[in-house]
Amino acid sequence: MPRSREILIQGTIIYGDDFSAEEGYISIRDGIIREFGREHVDADFEGLVCPRFVNAHVHLGDSAFKDPPYLPLSDLVGPGGLKSKMLGDTPRARIVEGMRRSLEQMVATGTCAFVDFREGGAEGVAMLVEALEGMPLLARILGRPGAGQKDAPKSCWGLGISSTRDLSEEVVGALVAQARRAGQAVGIHAGEAGRDDILSALTLQPDFLVHLSRAKEDDLKSVSRAGIPVVVCPRSNLMTGAGLPDVKMMVHQGISVAVGTDNVMLNSPDMFEEMHLLNKVLLHDDRQVFKMCTLNGAKIIGLDQRLGSILEGKEAKVMVLNKNSNNLWGSVSPLSSIVRRAGPSDIIAIL
């Protein structure tokens, strides 16, 4: 097999797991970052180079009915709520089309991998697999039983539970045990509508929790002691009135925090937007926020050795931004500008 051509990118490289801004180049061959060097090369692309995002929590299935009326969380996404009604009323082809369009938008806005919480049982998983065909995205799908079904789909990466409050303890316990026997990961929404489902979720020893926007210091201490990572979705929390996660406290407690855009019907699956909000509202720590949107997300899916940062040997899932765009020109801190203001219109190339 012929070796693929080497691609060279010159400029400011957001390099390594500490995301330091280094002047130089990277070389890419067969999709892998081969080399980082400081000399000037005859490059294919030039600009500000950073790893692409990992969207650690999204629901793509509701892409076909965006921007519903403002409703309380339970009326919107709870059992029997607006979302489940809309899903039931929307033809299959339209749901798949919505997923497909969101996937394309994720690629265009710099995401390379994502974790989807899939409703609708095995059929829901099949729809996403169909939408994913030919898409340059790495998908981790967590399924759950469809309406009236007892078992969760086995044909996917994991089990994604809405909240322990939506199901009896017995049913949740059986689903988790089944998933573990099948070697699947387990992710659970918790601390979104209230704090009362956090401890019950923790006792199930999930691989990660989603939201914890209602969690208090004691809850976060318990999560930290259990060593369980958390995925936060602040824009979703603002839209549903679920409060905002205390990300500063999570970091203080040593919890690994990743970031997701949650339901597409509420917010675009654009990680730049999530990152801006997280940075401006919850944590003035550019390095930490960028890590949450990249490397920590990769860790959630067990791929932090392959994705999430620019290092020799890792996959070249990178994007090149235009340092000379009206938006980024005059930056005195490349990483800060990415975290605080960069957007899809600054992207020159996506690899």
Q: How far is CA 207 from CA 179, 184, 188, 227, in A?
A: 12, 10, 8, 9
Q: Is the CB of 223 or the CB of 347 nearer to Zn ion?
A: 223
Helix ranges restricted to H, 144-243: 169-181, 198-203, 217-226, 234-240
d(CA 33, CA 75): 47
CB of 90 to Zn ion, least distance (A): 18
Which one, of 177, 229, 224, lies nearest residue 208 by Cα?
A: 229
CB of 259 to Zn ion, least distance (A): 13
CB of 209 to Zn ion, least distance (A): 11
Q: Is the CB of 74 or the CB of 324 nearer to Zn ion?
A: 74
CB of 62 to Zn ion, least distance (A): 10
d(CA 290, CA 301): 17
User: Alpha carbon 144 to chain centroid distance?
Assistant: 19
Cβ-closest position to Zn ion: 262
Which one, of 68, 84, 178, lies nearest residue 124 by Cα?
A: 84
Q: Is the CB of 49 or the CB of 233 nearer to Zn ion?
A: 233
Strands (E), 286-330: 318-321
- Render 36-73 in DSSP notation, one character per residue: EESS----SEEEEEEEPEEEEEEEGGGTTS-SPPP--H
Classify the phi-psi angles of 22: left when phi > 0, otherwise alpha if psi is within -120 to 50, otherwise beta: beta
CB of 64 to Zn ion, least distance (A): 17
Q: Is the CB of 262 or the CB of 346 nearer to Zn ion?
A: 262
CB of 308 to Zn ion, least distance (A): 21
Q: Is the CB of 15 or the CB of 117 nearer to Zn ion?
A: 117
Q: Is the CB of 207 or the CB of 262 nearer to Zn ion?
A: 262
**Secondary structure of residue 160 in the 3-state scheme:** strand
DSSP H or E segment with residue 348? strand 347-350
CB of 19 to Zn ion, least distance (A): 27
How many of the other CB atoms lie within 10 Å of CB of 129?
A: 16
CA Rg, the chain, in Å? 20
Q: Is the CB of 119 or the CB of 262 nearer to Zn ion?
A: 262
CB of 233 to Zn ion, least distance (A): 7
Q: Is the CB of 109 or the CB of 263 nearer to Zn ion?
A: 263
Residues at the site binding Zn ion, with contacts judged by CB under 5 A:
262
Q: Across the strands, what pairs with 188?
A: 161, 209
